[in-house]
Chain A
Amino acid sequence: MSSHYEAPIREPLVTGEKSYHDISVDVGAPVLGKANKSWWIVFSIALVAFLWGLGCIIYTISTGIGVWGLNKTIGWAWDITNFVWWVGIGHAGTLISAVLLLFRQKWRMAVNRSAEAMTIFAVVQAGLFPIIHMGRPWLAYWVLPIPNQFGSLWVNFNSPLLWDVFAISTYLSVSLVFWWTGLLPDFAMIRDRAVKPFQKKIYTLLSFGWSGRAKDWQRFEEVSLVLAGLATPLVLSVHTIVSFDFATSVVPGWHSTIFPPYFVAGAIFSGFAMVQTLLIVMRKVSNLEDYITLLHIEYMNKVIILTGGIVSIAYITEYFIGWYSGSSYENYTYLSYGAATGPYWWAFWALITCNFIVPLTLWVKKWRRNIMWTFVVALVINIGMWFERFNIIVVDLSKGRTPSGWTMFSPTFVDIGIFMGTIGFFFVLFLLYARTFPVIAQAEVKTILKSSGERYKRLREAGKS
Chain B
Amino acid sequence: MYKLSGKLKLFSIVLMVLGLVGLTYGFLNTPKTVDDVKEILAAQNSHHEGESALSENDETHKEAFVDQARGEEGYAAAAMEQHEAQMDQEHHGNHLEHVLHQLQTKPWSATLVSAFFFFMIALGALVFYAIQYAAQAGWSPVLFRVMEGITSYLLPGSIIVVLLVILAGTHFYPWQNHELVAEDKILQGKSGFLNFPFFVIRAIVYLLGWNLYRYFSRKNSLNESATDLNPYRKNFKISVFFLIFFIITESLMSWDWFMSMTPHWYSTLFAWYVFASMFVSAITVIALVTIYLKSKGLVSFINDSHLHDLGKFMFAFSIFWTYLWFDQFMLIWYANMPEEVVYFVMRIQEYNLLFFGMLVLNFVFPILILMNSDFKRVPWFIVIAGIAILVGHYIDIYLLVMPSTVGVNYSFGITEIASIAFFLGLFIYVVGTGLSKVNLRPEGNPFIKESEHYHY
> Which of B29-37, B52-60, B442-450 contacts its partner?
B442-450
B-facing residues in A1-49 (Cβ within 8 Å): 1, 5-10
> Which of B15-23, B319-327, B381-389, B421-429 contacts its partner?
B319-327
The answer on a CB contact under 8 Å between B324 and A261 is: yes
CA distance A257 to B319 in the complex (A): 18
Given contacts A1-B453, A233-B319, A324-B193, contact A257 B331 (CB under 8 A): yes
CA distance A1 to B451 in the complex (A): 12
Residue from the list B136, B267, B327 in contact with A240, Cβ < 8 A: B327
Residue from the list A255, A314, A325, A327 in contact with B331, Cβ < 8 A: A255
The count of residues in chain A whose C-beta lies closer than 8 Å to any C-beta of chain B is: 34
Binary interface encoding of chain A residues 225-255 relative to chain B, with 1 for a CB under 8 A from any of its CBs, else 0: 0000000010010001000100111100001
A-facing residues in B60-94 (Cβ within 8 Å): none
Does B247 reach chain A (CB closer than 8 Å)?
Answer: yes
Q: Is the interface of B mostly helix, strand, loop or mixed?
A: helix
The answer on a CB contact under 8 Å between A257 and B268 is: yes
Which chain B positions have C-beta within 8 A of A318?
268
A-facing residues in B176-202 (Cβ within 8 Å): 185-186, 189-190, 193
Does A75 reach chain B (CB closer than 8 Å)?
Answer: no
Residue from the list B244, B264, B266, B453 in contact with A321, Cβ < 8 A: B266
The answer on a CB contact under 8 Å between B319 and A317 is: no
Does B334 reach chain A (CB closer than 8 Å)?
Answer: yes
CA distance A162 to B229 in the complex (A): 55
A-B pairs with beta carbons under 8 A, tally: 86
Which chain A positions have C-beta within 8 A of B248?
313
The answer on a CB contact under 8 Å between B337 and A324 is: no
Does B332 reach chain A (CB closer than 8 Å)?
Answer: yes
The answer on a CB contact under 8 Å between B335 and A258 is: no
Given contacts A248-B331, A309-B247, A317-B251, contact A7 B449 (CB under 8 A): yes
Does B272 reach chain A (CB closer than 8 Å)?
Answer: yes
Which chain B positions have C-beta within 8 A of A233?
319
Binary interface encoding of chain B residues 265-277 relative to chain A, with 1 for a CB under 8 A from any of its CBs, else 0: 0111111100000
Binary interface encoding of chain A residues 293-332 relative to chain B, with 1 for a CB under 8 A from any of its CBs, else 0: 0000000000000000110011011100100111100000
Which chain B positions have C-beta within 8 A of A325?
266
For the complex formed, measure the closest distance between the CB of B260 and the CB atoms of chain A, giving whole angstroms.
9
Does B328 reach chain A (CB closer than 8 Å)?
Answer: yes
For the complex formed, measure the closest distance between the CB of A458 and the CB atoms of chain B, giving whole angstroms.
18
Does A438 reach chain B (CB closer than 8 Å)?
Answer: no
Binary interface encoding of chain B residues 124-156 relative to chain A, with 1 for a CB under 8 A from any of its CBs, else 0: 000000000000101000000000000000000
The answer on a CB contact under 8 Å between A309 and B272 is: no
For the complex formed, measure the closest distance between the CB of B325 and the CB atoms of chain A, giving whole angstroms.
11
CA distance A14 to B50 in the complex (A): 77
Which chain B positions have C-beta within 8 A of A1?
449, 453
Does A185 reach chain B (CB closer than 8 Å)?
Answer: no
CA distance A94 to B348 in the complex (A): 37
The answer on a CB contact under 8 Å between A255 and B271 is: no
The answer on a CB contact under 8 Å between A250 and B331 is: no
For the complex formed, measure the closest distance between the CB of A53 and the CB atoms of chain B, giving whole angstroms.
34
CA distance A143 to B450 in the complex (A): 53
Which chain B positions have C-beta within 8 A of A250?
335, 337
Q: How large is the interface on B (under 10, 10 to 19, 20 to 34, 35 or more residues)?
A: 35 or more
The answer on a CB contact under 8 Å between A309 and B331 is: no
The answer on a CB contact under 8 Å between A249 and B335 is: yes
The answer on a CB contact under 8 Å between A248 and B334 is: yes
Given contacts A1-B453, A257-B328, contact A7 B138 (CB under 8 A): yes
Which chain A positions have C-beta within 8 A of B186?
326
The answer on a CB contact under 8 Å between B269 and A248 is: no
Does A266 reach chain B (CB closer than 8 Å)?
Answer: no
Given contacts A9-B446, A309-B247, contact A326 B189 (CB under 8 A): yes
Which chain B positions have C-beta within 8 A of A236?
323
Residue from the list A10, A261, A309, A310 in contact with B269, Cβ < 8 A: A261
Which chain A positions have C-beta within 8 A of B335?
248-250, 255
For the complex formed, measure the closest distance between the CB of B117 and the CB atoms of chain A, giving whole angstroms.
23
The answer on a CB contact under 8 Å between A313 and B446 is: no
Q: Which residue of A249, A257, A309 has the most chain B CB atoms within 10 A of its CB atom?
A: A257
Does A260 reach chain B (CB closer than 8 Å)?
Answer: yes
Find the A residue at minimum CB distance from B229. A9
For the complex formed, measure the closest distance between the CB of A208 and the CB atoms of chain B, giving whole angstroms.
27
Find the B residue at minimum CB distance from A322. B268
Which chain A positions have C-beta within 8 A of B269?
256-258, 260-261
Find the A residue at minimum CB distance from B268. A258
For the complex formed, measure the closest distance between the CB of B434 and the CB atoms of chain A, giving whole angstroms.
27
Q: Which residues of A contact B (CB under 8 A)?
A: 1, 5-10, 233, 236, 240, 244, 247-250, 255-261, 309-310, 313-314, 316-318, 321, 324-327
Give the 10 A-B residue pairs with the shortest CB-CB distance, closest first: A258-B268, A257-B269, A260-B327, A326-B186, A9-B446, A248-B334, A258-B269, A326-B189, A257-B328, A7-B450
Q: Which residues of B contact A (CB under 8 A)?
A: 136, 138, 185-186, 189-190, 193, 229, 244, 247-248, 251, 255, 264, 266-272, 319, 323-324, 327-328, 330-332, 334-335, 337, 339, 446-447, 449-450, 453
Q: 19 A-B residue contacts at CB 8 Å? A: A7-B447, A9-B446, A247-B331, A248-B334, A250-B337, A256-B268, A257-B268, A257-B327, A257-B328, A257-B331, A258-B268, A258-B269, A261-B272, A313-B248, A321-B268, A324-B255, A324-B266, A325-B266, A326-B186
Apart from A258-B272, A260-B324, A261-B272: 5 A-B pairs, beta carbons within 8 A: A7-B446, A9-B447, A236-B323, A244-B331, A255-B331
